[in-house]
Structure 1
């Protein structure tokens, strides 16, 4: 019996694949990838005789049947999802269906677009005394949001906010932030197709980002928060010479001994 591997293909740059992901791709007999979101260059890591399927034109039933048929014939399946499979990856229903047929599966994490965007922006999402909370969410569309996860409720907690699948509702995000009391100068970044050759990052604030990013309406992440200013006045305590922890004694204490 074969096995299914749900693999995080990252945001676009194939060099951001994990070593484990590449090893599995090289040995898998069947590969199913989201052609509309996953960089096709990743297929260069697959076996020459591997059977490749583009899931962008397949239904859930077709995907599951392809997996089951392959596994029953003793073939391993590499199921490629963009970013990290656990973030809006639609793997929950696939795993549930595979379990009905006792098909073994494993999840290989990948780099989600938020972390790739943070690296491009050169920001620490959890900057000391600025933001210690990162919220990953989306605005309601055809997929309904739970009642207690409305944007107004979420924004009331403060922190750094990262909106997936919502750039087409950028004005709604801005309006909600202003309703929540955010300063109109709060920085915003719209990050389009990070890791791809045509990636684009538009920086602005709540008062001008809607106009600046008006041409972007899909495949982009919206980040809102003061950390984007990259203006930290207090450094982390981790390497502070006057701060001791379990792996390093306080230098002042050493001097006194």
Structure 2
């Protein structure tokens, strides 16, 4: 029996709940129907109705109309409440879409800025490298020019010194010194030739150092003594 009672109770509870909801919905509709019927009845009533009844009807109508208005307003509010979530979600979705769009645009701008910065950095490195290369080339050019000028000066100095010594070593075709050569020049020439004969094998650097001459001038002196017959070509020069 207890099980049967429990079974019927379980079945009756949902039925009672559904009936209660249905009754509440009917109760909400009744004020609106009263408002719709009573103005029609009031319009069809005879003009001879008493003032008391008219006043009662007016009071009743006045009492019902606010109720109907409140009921209608409640229905409107419920509809507005039902519509609000839809608009809320639409606005939220729109804001989310705008945020994603702004984030995407910010990433694009950041990538563009990064590429431009990288390009400027590479251009700066290339310009610095070109400048270094140009400076190095200019430095090498100046060094080469200075070396050429130095070589020209050395050659001119050697030629001038050779010309000075050559005037002291002028020899006639018979291999004798001219009579007007100064005694000092003759002594220097004698020492120069004797040094060569004595050592037989002479290093040009040592010969130049012995007589305080440059190596190139020493070579020119040797050629001059051999050509003039003062020195036989029987010695070895290094």
TM-score band, normalised by the shorter chain? Answer: under 0.3
Of Structure 1 and Structure 2, the greater strand share is in 1
Of Structure 1 and Structure 2, the greater helix share is in 2
Tell me: higher relative CO, structure 1 or 2? Use CA pairs within 8 A at least 6 residues apart.
Answer: 1
Name which one, 1 or 2, has greater alpha-carbon Rg. Answer: 2
**What is the TM-score with the length of structure 2 in the denominator?**
0.18
